[in-house]
Amino acid sequence: MKNIAVLGCTGSIGRQTLDIVRSNPDKYRITGLSCGSRVTELVGLSREFSCKNVGIYDSEKYADLKSLLPNANVFQGDDALTSVIDDADTVVIAVVGMIGLKAVLYALEKGKTVALANKESLVAGGSIVTEQLKRGGKLYPVDSEHSAVWQCLQGENDFSRIILTASGGPFYFTPQSQLCGVTPEQAVKHPNWSMGKKISVDSATMMNKGLEIIEARWLFNTTNIDYVIHPESIVHSMVEFRDGSIKAQAGFPDMRLPIQYALSYPEHADRNFTPLSLPLELRFFPPDENKFPAPKLAKQAIISGGNSAAVLNAANEAAVALFLQRKVSFTDIVQIVEDAISAEPHCELKTADDVFETHNRVYEKIYLKYRGQ
Ligand code: NAD
Ligand code: MG
């Protein structure tokens, strides 16, 4: 029996993780649950899974939560990302945004296995997470592309290149001139995946692929990472080996597959999955980085190193929040990120505090600049 904590349990990945636990009561037990602010949903899930440790980040909701769950250990603020995992073996980190870094570092410090959906933590704090991993804990990817690469690498000692696939999001075939008029409602509708708002906007701007390129750089310790547009989202990514052979991992686009693999690794466990009906047509296109420059910015951030990726991530989080509040346009998002990287002097980030300081400063500067518009 594996003891599992799910951080971000009310979100898209969190709920899909709980679906897997629900269908495998003999394998998994939930010992920790937390979310940002949705008390009612959190209470329902805590009761359903008889969860002992429950956390809410929003401290204003703490008293309500405590009164509704008198027999649980109830946490608030940062403790909802840290102490709530203490009884778990595996921690699914499914919160959105760089705040996930607190959870990742704490879980690794405690020697836990982290099943990581939250990509922003690795983008902003990849070098610090990598250092922490040398001291203990394990890190398994949940993001479908990285799970695909991880699956392709089983039994392999070496590889030459990672090729991530990208659906292209909802606007890949939209004329460039129409992109500035894209509304938040249009941007959060993804053709193949049902996801939270932030990652849906990231997918629409292709910043999601940028973040994933940086994520892959830290997970697989390589800078040899390319990507192709694959609108069907059936091939989840590929790995090329030194003899030119390429392995690809494919399957129906359903996040429960990579989530389950991170929980059941090294097994491919049973599941009622949707089979692919073969044959099917799969298309692969070269990316258009004039129209969607975000992945190019991410590749430059890898080359620059230091604070570049943390600045890129903070600026993107601020710009996406502003876009969802209709303060900036769709095409402003990536422009704001590019401007932020140029404006910020290059420096090294040596500690987690350096990463949080950079993130908060860059985020606030952008947010305050555009908030009043
Ligand atoms: P979501 O918006 O649906 O859910 C986010 C969850 O995080 C919610 O439960 C929310 O309450 C919680 N949360 C937010 N701030 C918190 C805080 N400070 N403390 C505790 N909990 C907090 O997001 P999502 O789509 O599930 O994505 C979660 C993460 O997984 C993101 O980093 C995203 O990039 C990544 N991811 C998502 C998908 C997907 O298909 N949804 C795929 C790959 C990777
Ligand atoms: Mg992905």
Tens of pLDDT, residue by residue over 301-354, are: 999 999 999 999 999 999 999 999 999 999 999 999 999 999 999 999 999 999
Residue matched to tokens 């089979």: 275
pLDDT at 193 > cutoff 80:
no
Angle at 287 between CA 285 and CA 290, to 5 degrees: 145
Residue 336 alpha carbon to ligand 1 centre in Å: 23
Question: Tell me, what CATH number does 35's domain have?
Answer: 3.40.50.720
State whether 322 and 273 are in the same domain.
Answer: no
State whether 38 and 67 are in the same domain.
Answer: yes
Question: 178 lies in a domain?
Answer: no
State whether 92 and 151 are in the same domain.
Answer: no
- What residue's CA is closest to ligand 1, atom 23? 196
Residue 279: the pLDDT is: 87
Question: 70 lies in a domain?
Answer: yes
Domain final residue, candidates 265, 290, 315: 290
Of 81, 45, 95, give the one whose Cα is nearest residue 65: 45
Residue 212 alpha carbon to ligand 2 centre in Å: 7
**CA-CA distance, 73 to 71, in Å (whole number)?**
7
Q: Which atom of ligand 1 is nearest to the CA of 202?
A: 34
* Three-state helix/strand/coil letters over 167-214: CCCCCCCCCHHHHHHCCHHHHCCCCCCCCCHHHHHHHHHCHHHHHHHH
State whether 132 and 159 are in the same domain.
Answer: no
Mean pLDDT of 216-226: 98
Question: 179 lies in a domain?
Answer: no
Question: Tell me, what CATH number does 321's domain have?
Answer: 1.10.1740.10
Q: Which atom of ligand 1 is nearest to the CA of 120?
A: 32
Q: Which atom of ligand 1 is nearest to the CA of 117?
A: 30
Helix (DSSP H) and strand (DSSP E) numbers for the chain: 14, 11
Residue 119 alpha carbon to ligand 2 centre in Å: 9
Q: Which atom of ligand 1 is nearest to the CA of 200?
A: 25
Ligand nearest to the CA of 210: 2
State whether 258 and 318 are in the same domain.
Answer: no
Q: What is the DSSP letter of 346?
A: P
Mean pLDDT of 266-287: 91
**pLDDT tens-digit series, residues 13-44:** 999 999 999 999 999 999 999 999 999 999 99
pTM of the complete model: 0.97
State whether 157 and 285 are in the same domain.
Answer: yes
Query: Could you tell me whether strands 161-166 and 235-240 are parallel, antiparallel, or unpaired per DSSP bridges?
Result: antiparallel
- Domain residues for the domain of 351 are 305-373
For 314, phi and psi rounded to 5 degrees?
A: -65, -45
Residue 17: the pLDDT is: 98
Domain final residue, candidates 290, 323, 346: 290
Of 165, 168, 169, 171, give the one whose Cα is nearest residue 226: 165
CA distances (Å), origin 143, targets 66, 72, 102, 233, 237: 33, 31, 19, 13, 11
State whether 274 and 157 are in the same domain.
Answer: yes
Ligand nearest to the CA of 93: 1
State whether 220 and 339 are in the same domain.
Answer: no
Question: 196 lies in a domain?
Answer: yes
pLDDT at 239 > cutoff 80:
yes
Ligand nearest to the CA of 104: 1
Of 352, 347, 333, 344, give the one whose Cα is nearest residue 311: 344
In the chain, how many domains are there?
Answer: 3
Domain final residue, candidates 266, 290, 314: 290
Question: 29 lies in a domain?
Answer: yes
198, two tokens? 């932030």
Mean pLDDT of 230-251: 97
Residue 42 alpha carbon to ligand 1 centre in Å: 14
State whether 248 and 356 are in the same domain.
Answer: no
**pLDDT tens-digit series, residues 97-143:** 999 999 999 999 999 999 999 999 999 999 999 999 999 999 999 99
Residue matched to tokens 């990514």: 237
Question: 314 lies in a domain?
Answer: yes
**CA-CA distance, 347 to 328, in Å (whole number)?**
28
State whether 112 and 162 are in the same domain.
Answer: no
pLDDT > 90 fraction of the chain, expressed in percent and rounded: 95
What band does 371 get if pLDDT is binned at 50, 70 and 90?
confident
Of 228, 232, 229, give the one whose Cα is nearest residue 278: 232
Residue 373: the pLDDT is: 62
Question: 213 lies in a domain?
Answer: yes
Q: Are 11 and 196 in contact (CB under 8 A)?
A: yes
pLDDT > 70 fraction of the chain, expressed in percent and rounded: 100
Residue 8 alpha carbon to ligand 1 centre in Å: 6
Q: Which atom of ligand 1 is nearest to the CA of 35?
A: 21
pLDDT at 224 > cutoff 70:
yes
Q: Which atom of ligand 1 is nearest to the CA of 10?
A: 9
State whether 164 and 264 are in the same domain.
Answer: yes
Q: Are 336 and 314 in contact (CB under 8 A)?
A: no
Question: 183 lies in a domain?
Answer: no
Residue 95 alpha carbon to ligand 1 centre in Å: 4
Ligand 1 pocket: which residues have CB below 6 Å? 7-14, 34-36, 38, 57, 80-81, 94-96, 99, 117-120, 143, 193, 195-196, 198-199, 255
State whether 108 and 163 are in the same domain.
Answer: no
What band does 277 get if pLDDT is binned at 50, 70 and 90?
confident
Q: Are 109 and 91 in contact (CB under 8 A)?
A: no
